[in-house]
Amino acid sequence: MAGVEQRQNKSGGGKKKEVKKETGLGLSFTKDENFGEWYSEVVVNGEMIEYYDISGCYILRPWAISIWEIMQTFFDAEIKKMKVKNCYFPLFVSPGVLQKEKDHIEGFAPEVAWVTKSGESELEVPIAIRPTSETVMYPYYSKWIRGHRDLPLKLNQWCNVVRWEFSNPTPFIRSREFLWQEGHTAFATKEEADTEVLQILELYRCIYEEFLAIPVTKGRKSELETFAGGLYTTSVEAFIPNTGRGIQGATSHCLGQNFAKMFEINFENEKGEKGMVWQNSWAYSTRTIGVMVMVHGDDKGLVLPPKVAALQLIVIPVPYKDADTQGIFDACVATVATLSDAGIRAEADLRDNYSPGWKYSNWEMKGVPLRIEIGPRDLANNQVRAVRRDNGAKTDISRVFLVEQVKGMLDKIQQNLFDVAKQKRDACVEVLKTWEEFVTALGQKKLILAPWCDEEDVEKDVKARTKGDMGAAKSLCTPFEQPELPEGTKCFASGKPAKKWTYWGRSY
């Protein structure tokens, strides 16, 4: 608490300070005034994260893991429909194998963590901890794939990875250890690989848009942003209006035959001819949760979309002095039972050591989508009062129509969160054509869509020319959905003929 206050005094912000002092509830920073501190406070007070004594590592509490599990259940079932099988490869990588694919590891080497000791003795050969598993898995793909009947090979693993980042760690968004799924597939033909890249990308869009209620753009990464060692990279890109930064939501790569060459992943076709496999790899991580917090959270705390909320609805008794307290409690329990039977994730907060007001704030902080209050008047009228977390709207619902009304409201909340997020994102998009406009728009935290010549040196130049404390601008993606590009349109940065519309901005 002392620390929070000190930081607050420095920043000068924090209207909520008094509230926090008195009740221990509420946030001391607002989303608009101090986004960074607001975010840290929300993920901790919302019980998603606990800070840990190793920088860049965080404890993921049940409230966060339950969201992860809901997304995992969806995605896991979808990839199983595509005949992908789950597996588990070791956490440790031998140095020889790690460095086999030089291009791939080159830029990443500083982030690789190594085990050098056991007890007091130095290991003869240090062992790396996986930052990703290409080099762990592909030697075995080489062993397991012999003929065309061994193809396609489609494996996925749910695991942790470690990347020893040095820049500004942020819970979920940039942490030194995180959870993800990594899919690694091998095909006989490029066509099959190409098709899968887009199928997976569509599942990632679905996770963001339909589960997390976050609008994303599907597109292709520039040469500079393509995974080294891969052929092409596609991604879903989200945007955080408060910071004006783009954020890569998930990636689906076509690796081509580069890794097949390195790791000798060959097969013999029907005619007895030798061929090399075509590979893909794809991943999404717990970063998804951070993007959700940043996009939907408000000055009262987390705002969870109903589809991913462990608890979709909290029932709170509002007893009154002489009123029938037992009757109210019974109504709460009955309401939860009815809703649970209908498949709605509901609970009652019957704790008697907290006031209703305290409970409201507490569940708002945790982002539960819908609150139901039951007081003496509600009991008398056989109704409940529903309060939406997303917009605060209050509705009295007859207990006769409880299930259908609540289902309808949860759907509305889910849709509204997406619509509002999309409106805010769209309001930040600036379509422009010149360097001057680009610099201005960047200063205004815009998400820029500009015609580009698609040359790597030009992107490097854009980075160099926009360097500063805020970080350089870069290309985010070339959207698959391209606006019309009139003949003669010039690149915003080089003045050369433009080849495509590309999104640019600062990013996470």
**Minimum distance of ligand 87F from residue 190's CB (angstroms):** 19
Work out the number of other CB atoms within 10 angstroms of the CB of residue 29. 26
Pick the closest to residue 452 from 461, 442, 443, 441 (CA basis).
461
Smallest distance from ligand 87F to CB 75, Å: 14
Pick between residue 182 and residue 454 the one whose CB is nearest to ligand 87F. 182
Beta carbons of 128 and 112 less than 8 angstroms apart: yes
Q: How far is the CB of 340 from ligand 87F (least distance, A)?
A: 38
Q: Could you give the angle at the alpha carbon of 385 between the alpha carbons of 43 and 405, nearest 5°?
A: 90
Q: Which is nearer to ligand 87F, 102 or 465 (CB)?
A: 102
Closest of 404, 405, 385 to residue 396, by C-alpha? 385
Closest CB to ligand 87F among residues 163, 359: 163
CB 245 within 8 A of CB 294: no
Q: How far is the CB of 151 from ligand 87F (least distance, A)?
A: 19
The residue type at 278: W
Of 95, 74, 338, 97, residue with least CA distance to 206: 74
Q: What does each C-alpha distance from 107 to 102, 104, 111, 137, 223 come to in angstroms?
A: 9, 7, 9, 20, 15
Quick one: which H or E segment has residue 183? strand 177-187
Phi, psi of 327 (to 5 degrees): -60, -40
Q: Which is nearer to ligand 87F, 64 or 250 (CB)?
A: 250
Question: Residue 316 carries which side chain, given as an amino acid letter?
Answer: I
Nearer CB in complex with ligand 87F: 87/380: 87
Distance CA 404, CA 407 (A): 5
Whole-number minimum distance, CB 162 to ligand 87F, in Å? Answer: 9
Of the pair 282, 501, the CB lying nearest ligand 87F is at 282
Instruction: List contacts with ligand 87F (CB under 6 A).
Output: 104-105, 108, 111-112, 131-132, 134, 163, 182, 227, 251, 253, 281-283
Nearest approach in angstroms of CB 199 to ligand 87F is: 15
First to last CA, the chain: 29
Closest C-alpha to 368, from 427, 302, 430: 302
In the complex, what is the shortest distance from the CB of residue 462 to ligand 87F, in angstroms, rounded to a whole number?
A: 22
Q: Give the residue with the Cβ less far from ligand 87F, 175 or 281.
A: 281
CB of 102 to ligand 87F, least distance (A): 12
Compute the chain's Rg from CA coordinates: 26
Residue closer to ligand 87F by CB (options 112, 173) is: 112
Q: Are the beta carbons of 389 and 54 closer than 8 angstroms?
A: no
Q: Single out the residue of 126, 135, 124, 142 nearest to residue 161, CA to CA.
A: 135
Six-digit token pair at 276?
A: 């090399």
- Please check whether residue 462 is in contact with residue 489, taking contact to mean a CB–CB distance below 8 angstroms: no
CB of 250 to ligand 87F, least distance (A): 9
Amino acid at 145: I
Q: Are 257 and 277 in contact (CB under 8 A)?
A: yes
Which CB atom, from 137 or from 309, has the smaller least distance to ligand 87F?
Answer: 137
Q: Please report how close the Cβ of residue 128 comes to ligand 87F at its closest, in angstroms.
A: 9
- Alpha-carbon distance of 56 to 3, in angstroms, equals 19
Closest approach, Cβ 132 to ligand 87F, in A, equals 4
Q: Which is nearer to ligand 87F, 195 or 391 (CB)?
A: 195
Nearer to ligand 87F, 108 or 166 (CB): 108
Question: Could you give the CA distance from residue 292 to residue 418 in angstroms, rounded to a whole number?
Answer: 11
